[in-house]
Amino acid sequence: MPASNPMPAPSNTLGKASLVLGIMGSFFVFSVGLCAGVGKQQGWLQHVGVILFVIGGSFAFLGLLGGLLGLLGLLGRSHPKATAVAGLLLGVLTVALFLAILNAAR
């Protein structure tokens, strides 16, 4: 009698996308925040502050999209939800990090 292969669980593409966007967003927002912190300490932040704000805001929006996709990835019934939860948490972390950096740069 041949061994029966159970059907693999369908992948959660929304969860995977949210995880990738959350990782990218949080990494780049952290990097821009590090540049802003160094710029504030060295006194050149007022010269490039607008550029850093636009770049950081763009990556924070990327994290926001990742969080939204993670939330939508949680709504599926037969999909694994671990990647969606991780993407949602990273998206929220990205936006919170961006807001904390804005507050500290003042």
DSSP 8-state assignment for residue 77: S
Domain that holds residue 90: 25-105
Helices (H) and strands (E) in the chain, counts: 3, 0
Q: Answer whether residue 17 is part of any domain.
A: no
Predicted structure pTM score: 0.85
CB atoms closer than 10 angstroms to residue 78: 7
Contacts of residue 106, Cβ cutoff 8 Å, sequence gap at least 6:
none
DSSP 8-state assignment for residue 11: P
pLDDT in tens, 52-92: 999 999 999 999 999 999 999 998 777 888 999 999 999 99
State the Cα–Cα distance between residues 4 and 93, nearest whole angstrom. 43
Residue range 93-101: mean pLDDT, rounded: 96
* Tokens found for residue 64: 């926001």
- Number of domains present in the structure of the chain: 1
